[in-house]
Structure 1
Amino acid sequence: MRATETTDAEDGLATRGWVVVRGGWDVPTHAQALRFAARFGRPSARDGGHPVWEVRPRPLGGTFSQRGGPVPLHTDAQYHPDPEDLVCLFAVRPAADGGHSLLLPASRALAALRARPDGARAEAALRRPQWSWITPAVFTGGRGAPPLPVLAGDTVRWRPDNLVPAEEGRAAAETFTDALARADPEEVRLTPGDVLLVDNRRTLHGRTAFGDPRRLMLRVRLWSR
């Protein structure tokens, strides 16, 4: 990857919150994925003990990255006090029947929330430090970060399936979940060798449904420089 391509990708991340680039390979290996990712930050291995996580359906399931079907819009590592800044997704074997990436900047998520009659009340609740998430059992289990806001400035942290909302936040969580379901994220179809880079603090990502058991992506989370 040339220096100008790295700069272009960084510009795309800064302006849009995500970018797709073509790697210098047909099918990336773990080593190639790490070398590529290191151009944009420091790979993190704190969840699972390895910086490269294979995103594939597994017979016993686990987190939603280990199952087929759709994945709702979310950010990664929201259960940590300090989520990694970037997520890299390397396409090894895209599904033959879907599994496309969905991307929604936090600004558009907020606009969808504010368009609702109860949006202002929900936004106020989402900006209060009363939200926490259970760490997925596949990593360490138990509770993660202390209560934190979902929305802070122009950033977002969100995942609906392991959310532990305070009692007074349940209505706001339902409102935000519904707003995201009605939002219009961009759908990106990756081909083998493509890399999707996502600003994990300013962009929510998800996935359309699929059933292909051979689907394989490589994920690397990064601390930006």
Structure 2
Amino acid sequence: MLNTQVDQSDSTFDVLPMSMSIEKVLTEDQSLADVRTALDKGSGSILLDASQWLDLCDVDCQNELIKLGNRLGKVVQRGKTESPIWRVESKPDKAMPSFSEQSNDAPFHTDASYYPAPMKYLIFLSITPASQGGENLILSHRRLLDSLREKENGREIISILSQSEFPFSMSPSFHVDSSKELPLEVAPVLSDDSIRFQIKAIRNGFHRKPELMSTKKVYAIEQLESHLAGFMKNRGEKLKAGQMLIVNNWRALHARKAFGNEKRLLFRASVEAELE
């Protein structure tokens, strides 16, 4: 039976290392099923070895990544890129960089919270690690809820985040068609088995939909933001070249610590859930 437990200790890297080869996940149904079990019923994130792909040219490597994503669901285009594979790298000269395009801390969040159905899986393949810093952090939905319940006001926060509607608005830096209104979704932050959270998206949403803002909602998201900042102080893991991190975007938050150079590069695929 697959072990879906993760040693947490002082780490915020709730990720299950899996020893199976990436080729098995691409070709064997049982290996794919084991991956799904870990992502959908276990920690919500896994680590695989895809170092053999580093010998391929960028195009072939990205094509293999697309094949893997399409085994899990459907790889989708993200933002203004020509390819469905996003090059995650620092872009210091960009006017409105996203979290992934900056070298400072990227706080805990889920992606595409401003859509009715955000992508289910995020696949990150490390190509060039940062020479200093850049550790990844993953916080599972289960561990977040457990830690909030231990706080004096934690159950109140959970109640507000679960029972209230929050507006999530896309950042203009991701907007492809300026002739159309920025996407905005209204939804709770927490449910029994999922999370939707990006502090900037909620603040943008409150700006666009002030009628949805209240003192208790602002209190709850600020408390959550502060709580998550504590997990940022824990130990993360820097992905080695060729390591692949797959995250269930519905069941885990991801973050990244600051890094000291601008050569860090990951390839990333966004994967929609399969139709039931």
- The alignment partner of 1:147 has SS state of strand
Q: How does 1:1-225 map to 2 (within 5 A)?
A: 1-2=23-24, 3=28, 4-14=30-40, 15-23=42-50, 24-26=52-54, 29-48=61-80, 50-61=83-94, 62-140=97-175, 143-164=182-203, 165=206, 166-168=213-215, 169-183=217-231, 187-225=236-274
- The alignment partner of 1:170 has SS state of helix
**Greater strand fraction, Structure 1 or Structure 2:** 1
TM-score by length of 2: 0.75
- Percentage identity across aligned positions? 26
- The alignment partner of 1:214 has SS state of coil
Question: C-alpha offsets along residues 4-37 of structure 1, whole Å, 9 cap, x if unaligned?
Answer: 5434322322311000111231266322221222
Q: Give the gaps of 5 or more residues in structure 2.
A: 1-22, 207-212
Question: C-alpha offsets along residues 174-207 of structure 1, whole Å, 9 cap, x if unaligned?
Answer: 1111121223767232111111100100011111
- The alignment partner of 2:157 has SS state of helix
Moved more, 110-119 or 166-175: 110-119
Moved more, 28-37 or 151-160: 28-37
The Cα of 1:94 is off from its aligned counterpart by: 1.1
Question: C-alpha offsets along residues 77-121 of structure 1, whole Å, 9 cap, x if unaligned?
Answer: 111111011000111111111111101101111122222222222
Structure of higher CA gyration radius: 2
CA contact (8 A) 1:104 1:186 kept: no
Distance 1:12 1:189 in 2: 21
The Cα of 1:143 is off from its aligned counterpart by: 4.1
Aligned pair count reads 225
CA contact (8 A) 1:116 1:179 kept: no
Distance 2:256 2:226 in 1: 17
One-letter code aligned to 2:226? D
The Cα of 1:124 is off from its aligned counterpart by: 1.5
One-letter code aligned to 1:181? A
Q: Give the gaps of 5 or more residues in structure 1.
A: none
**Greater helix fraction, Structure 1 or Structure 2:** 2
Question: C-alpha offsets along residues 37-95 of structure 1, whole Å, 9 cap, x if unaligned?
Answer: 22212101153354111110002241111110111111111111110110001111111
Question: C-alpha offsets along residues 134-190 of structure 1, whole Å, 9 cap, x if unaligned?
Answer: 212222175423321000121000111232352231100111111212237672321
Change (3 A) 1:129 1:47: farther
TM-score by length of 1: 0.91
CA contact (8 A) 1:101 1:187 kept: yes
Distance 2:190 2:134 in 1: 27
RMSD, matched Cα:
2.0
The Cα of 1:214 is off from its aligned counterpart by: 0.6
